[in-house]
A and B are shown apart, each in its own frame.
Chain A
C-alpha cells in the first residue's frame, strides 16, 4: 500500500470525532491520574516521615511494589486479574450526565497508584530540601506537625517538586496509551481500531504520534513558564515571590493585561 498524503493530512487536520473523543479522554485521564497520584505522593511522603514504623513500612512496601513492576502489568492486574479472582470488579458508574465505564476507572486507579509511588519519592525529596530551621521556627511558634507541613514546609517544597512533576506529567500523557490493552478508547486505542478498519497503519500511527508530540510540546511550554516562576532558573525572582501568589498570577489572567 502506498503512502497516501491525502489520507494522512485528512486525519491530521480533520480528525474524526471518534479520534477527538480519544484525545479528550487521554487528556482527562492524564489530568485526573496525575492529580490523584500527586495527592497520594504528598500523603506517601508524609508517611515516610512518620514516627510510626508501621506507616513507614507500608509506604515503603507500596513504592517497592509500584516502582518495581511494569505499569502495563499493574493495569491488567487491577482490571482483569482482580475481576478474574473475584476480588474486585470495576462496574460502570452512572453519574446521570455521564457514565464512567469500569475499564476507565481501573485505568485511572492503576495510573494514579503507579504515579503516587513515584510522586512519593519526589515530594519526599522536596520536603527534605527545605531547611530544617523552617521546621524549628514553625514549631517554636506553636505549630503542630500538620499545620507546619501545610503552611510552611510544603509551600517551599513546591519549588523543588515542580520540575520533576512536569516530567511526570509528560510521561503520564504517553503512559495512557497502555490503557488501550484494557479497551479504554483513548487516542491509541481509537487509532488501533481505525488501523484495523483501513490498514493505513503508517498514516494513522504517524498521525497519533504527532498528536502525542503536540500534547507533550504544548505541555513543555507550560512547564517552562512554570519553571521560570518557581524553578532554579529564576532563583532571584522566585525568592521574592509568594509561591501561592505566583501560581495564581500564572494561572489566572493578569488584570493589567486585560485592558
Chain B
C-alpha cells in the first residue's frame, strides 16, 4: 500500500451536513418477523462506527436499509440530510422513484461479504463501470482514478485480471476500490472479512483501517474486534433488532454495560 488511499479520489469527501447518517425509529419486518425495532443511530462526518452483535440481531439488515437495499416500515433514515428511499407527503412516507433512489445510492459505498465483483469485467473494468456509466465521468479520467486506487490498495499489477483470477482478499480490495471510485461520503462494510480465509483478512483490514484513519465516514458490521478496538470511534451492540449499547470501544471492551454485551464479548473474545 502506498500513500493515502483517499488521495486517489481527491481526499475525504466534504459534505455540508454535520451528520452523515441520522436514523430514527427504524422498524423493519420480514413478513411476520420484526427484525429491526425502533433503531436510531446518528453518525457524524469522519466517524467510524462498528456494529457488533450475534447473528440474527439485525445489524446487516440495518446497514442494508441505509442505502435502501431493504425497505423499512417505520421511521426515517437521512444520509447527508436527505431522506433515503422515501419521499414525505402530508406526513406520510412514499417510496421514492427508482431514479432518485439510484442517485442517493451514488453517495453511499457498500462492500459486501461475498465481494460481488462483476465477473465479466476486469478489476479495472469493475472500478470504472459506475463512474463512467452512472456518473458520466470520461473514461480516460475514470481509468486514471481507478489505477491510482488500485495502486493504493496494493493491486497495481492486477488491473487486467478478472475476479476469478484473484484471491478473496484481492477481490475484496478491488471491491473497496470500486465503491470508493464513486467518491461516496459514506462507506458501509457488511461483514467484509467474514468470507475470507484467515491469512487474507489482514490485507483487507489494513485497507479499512487506512480509510478510517484518513477520515472516511464508515459503518462496519464485523466480527473483527481488533479492528473495532483500533479504529472505531464508537461500538454499537445490537441484539434482537435493537441497539442495546452505543459507546466508545474502550468502554465497550473493558466495561460493557449490559449483560448481553458481556455474554457476547465472553463468547467472541475467547
Contacts and interface: CB of A to CB of B under 8 A. Distances in A.
A133 interface: yes
Contacts of B129: 141, 151-152
A243 B117 CA distance: 15
A115 to B, nearest CB: 26
B16 interface: no
Interface in B164-188: 164-165, 175, 178-179, 182
Nearest to A135: B116
Contact of A240 (B118, B135, B162): B162
Most buried by A among B116, B121, B165: B116
A133 B118 CA distance: 10
A208 to B, nearest CB: 42
Contacts of B98: 144-145
Contacts, number: 76
B17 interface: no
A134 interface: yes
**Contact-residue bracket for chain A:** 20 to 34
B120 A243 contact: yes
A143 interface: yes
25 contacts: A133-B116, A136-B112, A137-B112, A140-B69, A140-B112, A140-B179, A141-B130, A141-B134, A141-B179, A142-B105, A142-B106, A142-B130, A142-B135, A143-B102, A144-B99, A145-B98, A147-B133, A151-B129, A152-B118, A152-B129, A155-B120, A156-B118, A240-B164, A241-B162, A242-B125
Interface of B: 67, 69, 98-99, 102-103, 105-106, 108-110, 112, 114, 116-122, 125, 129-130, 133-135, 162, 164-165, 175, 178-179, 182
